[in-house]
Chains A and B, each alone.
Chain A
């Protein structure tokens, strides 16, 4: 469906993309994950033909974006980071404008009504876009991306700035779109990509550091065993017990206190589950275990780990 070959983009001396290649198969929901400034939006802007790369090719279902722009662009529905809405138009006027702009020849009334039902904006169609809430504006942007039924839908940070309820709605919507479209979405939130995507492409400093099925990436991420344990007992004694556990790489007290209980961050070697050993060791010394929770890796931790792995 989409094939990207060796994209390089430079802004003066700064390199935004340093050779990005990936491909997306029909029907996949792919998460494009990376911290701010990693090159996500740049990649999406190149794929959709908004800007051009210095080197590299983008094929949308066989059509190159610069050589065959009209055919290629017809197959993409794009929601940029900031939805390109004309504030003075009503939702209906805007959708009709996009319909004509994209040169669609589907039955107009039915098509637009269907889209409005899917993204749940049927009740605001007569309202001026300027007066809509951020969540509605975002959905109007998504609606515009769906017009003409393009096989490939690209959404750049679709949930940024929405409240938690709206985020869940948009994620559900994306999952639903994935049933009969190929979807690429960019995000800097790991849990979002985990929740929605079949596959993740992780990008940092303009290059791809990981590309794999969500389960594979999850396994890789969870392989790192870090926990926050809260234990009642004297700090130094508890610390000594924890450090003696087999497979512990690091252990340090945190500043959190819960009565006489102290929180510690503990990290185990990969492949070793220290939870049982820790429980018995603490029980033996009569230090009650008050709480135990896994510390998820932040995106930054994952990048460090992925980059380390690549270098090794």
Chain B
């Protein structure tokens, strides 16, 4: 399992994907950070973190798109599936590889808060809460991306499909306000990432929301494993 993790991590940086991902995230986050805090003479990070959600929505599918689809297309998955490694181990290894790159990006971006502490007196608790929350949301996004990547051989389709699902998950919150029927609103709100995130931007540490993100993560990883179990019988 650790071998797969290492190989995935290395393949991010032998191809350009890892570097491009880090560069794009750090650059966009830097711009967002400067505009929402430094240039607005504010130490309120709530807008910044909401913008970060949308940046991740676009960037994370690029990180996850190849995880399964490339292996399937090049038939290298045959090596993994005939090795003494369980499917769960394989899925977990790939998840943690993508998560490591993503978490690296979050840490790079977090250096920006130093400037806030230099020039003002921001609330460290809120910033830390938001970093934890954005990390967990990113983990959930990665799990969604892996699920879609396991469905197709085509990387582009995987990226666009993931983007579509993430867009829907973020958009449901906006949609909710226009749906007049309460039961539908209630059910839809279950899938809404944005509405759960708002507590963090408002400075509350919401354990229920954290639990929700972790659950989303597990559900999608579990379904990914099931896809592989099932494909054995149909393929």
Which residues of B have CB within 8 Å of A86?
A: 7, 11, 74, 76
Please tell me the number of chain B residues within 8 Å of chain A, measured between CB atoms: 25
A84 interface contact, C-beta 8 A: yes
**Docked-complex contact A70 and B86, CB < 8 angstroms:** yes
Question: Most chain-A CB neighbours within 10 Å: which of B15, B74, B84, B232?
Answer: B84
Q: Give the interface SS of chain B, mostly helix, strand, loop or mixed.
A: helix
**Docked-complex contact A76 and B232, CB < 8 angstroms:** no
Which residues of B have CB within 8 Å of A87?
A: 74
The complex places the Cα of A74 from the Cα of B79 at a distance, in Å, of: 12
Interface residues of B in 10-62 (CB under 8 A from A): 11, 14-15
**Docked-complex contact A101 and B4, CB < 8 angstroms:** yes
A56 interface contact, C-beta 8 A: no
Shortest CB–CB separation between residue B23 and chain A, in angstroms? 20
Which residues of A have CB within 8 Å of B82?
A: 48-50, 73, 76, 78, 80
* A contact residues, range: 20 to 34
Name A73's contact: one of B77, B83, B233 (CB within 8 Å): B83
Decide yes or no: A101 and B232 within 8 Å by CB, A50-B82, A84-B79, A86-B11 being known contacts.
no
The complex places the Cα of A76 from the Cα of B82 at a distance, in Å, of: 8
Interface residues of A in 122-146 (CB under 8 A from B): 144
A51 interface contact, C-beta 8 A: yes
Interface residues of A in 72-119 (CB under 8 A from B): 73-74, 76, 78, 80, 82, 84-89, 97-98, 100-103
**Docked-complex contact B76 and A50, CB < 8 angstroms:** no
**Docked-complex contact B233 and A52, CB < 8 angstroms:** yes
The complex places the Cα of A45 from the Cα of B234 at a distance, in Å, of: 13
B78 interface contact, C-beta 8 A: yes
Shortest CB–CB separation between residue A39 and chain B, in angstroms? 15
A69 interface contact, C-beta 8 A: yes
**Docked-complex contact A50 and B11, CB < 8 angstroms:** no
A172 interface contact, C-beta 8 A: no
20 additional A-B residue pairs with CB within 8 Å, beyond A51-B232, A69-B86, A102-B84: A11-B234, A49-B82, A51-B235, A54-B233, A70-B84, A74-B84, A78-B78, A80-B75, A80-B79, A82-B78, A84-B74, A84-B76, A85-B76, A86-B7, A88-B11, A100-B2, A101-B4, A101-B79, A102-B83, A144-B79
Chain B residues within CB distance 8 Å of chain A? 2-4, 6-7, 11, 14-15, 74-86, 232-235
Chain A residues within CB distance 8 Å of chain B? 11, 45, 48-52, 54, 69-71, 73-74, 76, 78, 80, 82, 84-89, 97-98, 100-103, 144
12 contacts between A and B (CB under 8 A): A52-B233, A54-B233, A70-B85, A74-B84, A78-B82, A80-B78, A82-B78, A84-B75, A89-B14, A100-B3, A101-B4, A101-B80
Going nearest first, the 8 A-B pairs with the smallest beta carbon separation are A100-B3, A84-B79, A52-B232, A84-B76, A101-B3, A73-B84, A48-B82, A70-B84
